[in-house]
Amino acid sequence: MGSKRLNEHMPLTDNEIIEKIRGGAKHYYAHLVDRYKDRAFTLAVRMLKNREDAEEASQDAFIRAYNALNRFEGKARFSNMVLQDFVQRMPYSAR
């Protein structure tokens, strides 16, 4: 039994979006990317000092996060999963 939204005009939470994706509505992933792409890109630029590399690295992080959604338990924030994965994959010299 899913929870009933009090206000249908409120944005979906990350966990609600992830449940929709798991239910087959793959296009909802764009909502998560839109929600966190600027934060991921900003972090990537700060670490890599190169916009093109940062764009590629942040896109890769979102692809890995998408592929890991079946393991996402909702205990942490989705944004933490994306950003932590990104930082862990950076060469030590870029940290």
Q: CB of 62 within 8 A of CB of 37?
A: yes
Give per-residue pLDDT as tens, 31-62. Answer: 999 999 999 999 999 999 999 999 999 999 99
Task: Please provide the size of the chain in residues.
Answer: 95
Kindly tell me the burial class for residue 49, based on how many C-beta atoms sit within 10 Å of its own C-beta (0-12, 13-18, 19 or more).
exposed
Predicted pLDDT of residue 1 = 45
Q: Is the pTM of this model over 0.85?
A: no
Closest CA to 36 of 82, 72, 73: 82
Q: Where are the domains of the chain?
A: 36-94
Indicate the DSSP class of residue 81.
H
